[in-house]
Amino acid sequence: MKKRILTGITTTGIPHIGNYIGAIRPAIKLATETDESFFFLADYHSIIKNKNPSEIKSSVKNIALAWLCCGLDPEKTLFYKQSDVPEILELTWILNCVSSKGLMNRAHAYKAAISENELEPDKGINMGLFSYPILMAADILMFDSTHVPVGSDQIQHMEMTRDIAQRFNHLYKPILTVPESIIQDKEKVVPGIDGRKMSKSYNNVIPLLGTEKELKKSIMKIVTNSLEPGEPKDTDNCSVYELYKNFADENEVNEFKKSYEEGISWGEAKELLFSKINKELEPIRSSYNELVNNNDYINDVLSDGSKKARQIAEDKMSQIRDVIGITKIS
Ligand code: TRP
């Protein structure tokens, strides 16, 4: 059987180095090694939390740009916006009707949200948040994806997707492909400039699409300890070292480690880190500069992708409608 990978990217925030190391770079590499790949911008997922239309809009553009500039090849990978394939929402409803509420009650994101409320557990929780995993299941099951690359925070959503597919297949006919997960960030936490996990919500990110100057500035801000030049330094729990490992080969990492033992100064270590990251980001930055004002190009790529995706989705939907009895009177 052909391998078909599919993954969605929620369109919130601006892409950072953590996204690049943990999701973008490995997914693009995987796409080059796989028969078929579908990557899409999960814009309907993003309106669950964000009600600011201009932020949504600019995030969709920046994230599309990030993937294209990092080497996503739209000739090889179907690249589209979820909202351009409205059949996904149709499937979402159908899957709603085979998903048990109890299953959704157990979702980590929902449980975390209610645990913050004291008197009224569901205060401030919209139905989109509650049924988030069902929209995600529709994204995946619509296209008979065999493998789904995700971060480890999505493991439960993937189990729910499999559960929902099996339930549908059992109730009707086995026409939905039950997908496998590919966990991309196994045991890998990318530290931000304050040493905690790099995340928009901690305000500690190194931006992916910034200028060279901005890159240097955030690297120089990485928190280290107060050891002086000449004093040996430990690579354990060192953000500079952890980041360096993601951009260098084994020999270079060993050299870097040795320089720690020999007492490299934090300034020099950061300088080395900067030049490593910068070297990898240079081509990405130059294609960003080329494309950032070319909205037509981005729109064309996405509309091309959605045309192809829709064709597949329409065929799948007619099969699905048929097995559930939503069909011509006969
Ligand atoms: N929930 C995913 C995340 O936050 C994004 C997503 C939406 C997704 N639909 C998907 C990932 C389908 C994989 C497949 O990372």
Superfamily of 210-290 according to CATH? Tyrosyl-Transfer RNA Synthetase (1.10.240.10)
The predicted model gives 28-35 an average pLDDT of 96
3-state secondary structure 221-237: CCCCCCCCCCCCCCCCC
pLDDT of residue 330: 86
| d(CA 7, ligand 1 centre) in Å | 6
| 145 CA: nearest ligand 1 atom | 14
Q: Where in the chain is the domain with CATH 3.40.50.620?
A: 4-189+293-324
How are strands ordered across the β-sheet holding 77-81?
A: 77-81, 36-42, 4-10, 147-150, 180-183
Q: Where in the chain is the domain with CATH 1.10.240.10?
A: 210-290
| 136 CA: nearest ligand 1 atom | 9
| 151 CA: nearest ligand 1 atom | 15
Q: Which amino acid would we find at residue 236?
A: D
Nearest CA-CA partner of 152 in 26, 11, 291: 26
pLDDT, one tens digit per residue, over 142-184 is 999 999 999 989 999 999 999 999 999 999 999 999 999 999 8
Ligand 1 atom 10: residue of nearest CA: 8
Q: Where would I find the H helices in 70-202?
A: 87-96, 101-105, 108-115, 127-141, 155-171
pLDDT band for position 186 (cuts 50, 70, 90)? confident
Asked: is 4-189+293-324 a CATH 3.40.50.620 domain? The reply is yes
How many whole angstroms separate alpha carbon 206 and alpha carbon 215?
7
How many whole angstroms separate alpha carbon 330 and alpha carbon 326?
11
Query: What residue has token string 């910034």?
Result: 210
How many whole angstroms separate alpha carbon 314 and alpha carbon 142?
9
| 139 CA: nearest ligand 1 atom | 12
Test site for ligand 1: of 5, 30, 45, most ligand atoms within 8 A of the Cβ:
45
Total Cβ atoms within 10 A of residue 240: 23
On whether the CB atoms of residues 101 and 2 are closer than 8 A, the answer is: no
Q: Which amino acid would we find at residue 252?
A: E
| 157 CA: nearest ligand 1 atom | 1
Q: Which amino acid would we find at residue 127?
A: M
- Average pLDDT over the chain, rounded to whole? 96
| d(CA 157, ligand 1 centre) in Å | 8
Test site for ligand 1: of 49, 85, 88, 136, most ligand atoms within 8 A of the Cβ:
136
183 DSSP β-pair partners: 150
CB half-sphere exposure, 270, CA atoms < 13 A: 17
pLDDT, one tens digit per residue, over 187-244 is 678 999 999 999 988 999 999 999 999 999 999 999 999 999 999 999 999 999 999 9
Nearest CA-CA partner of 276 in 31, 17, 27: 17
pLDDT, one tens digit per residue, over 68-107 is 999 999 999 999 999 999 999 999 999 999 999 999 999 9
3-state secondary structure 67-84: HHHCCCCCCCEEEEEHHH
Question: Could you tell me if the CB of 24 is within 6 A of ligand 1?
Answer: no
> Chain centroid to CA 140: how far?
14
* CA dihedral for 88, 91, 95, 97, sign (positive or negative): positive
Written as six digits, the tokens of 60 are 């969709």
Evaluate if residue 185 carries a pLDDT over 90. no
38 DSSP β-pair partners: 6, 78
| d(CA 27, ligand 1 centre) in Å | 13
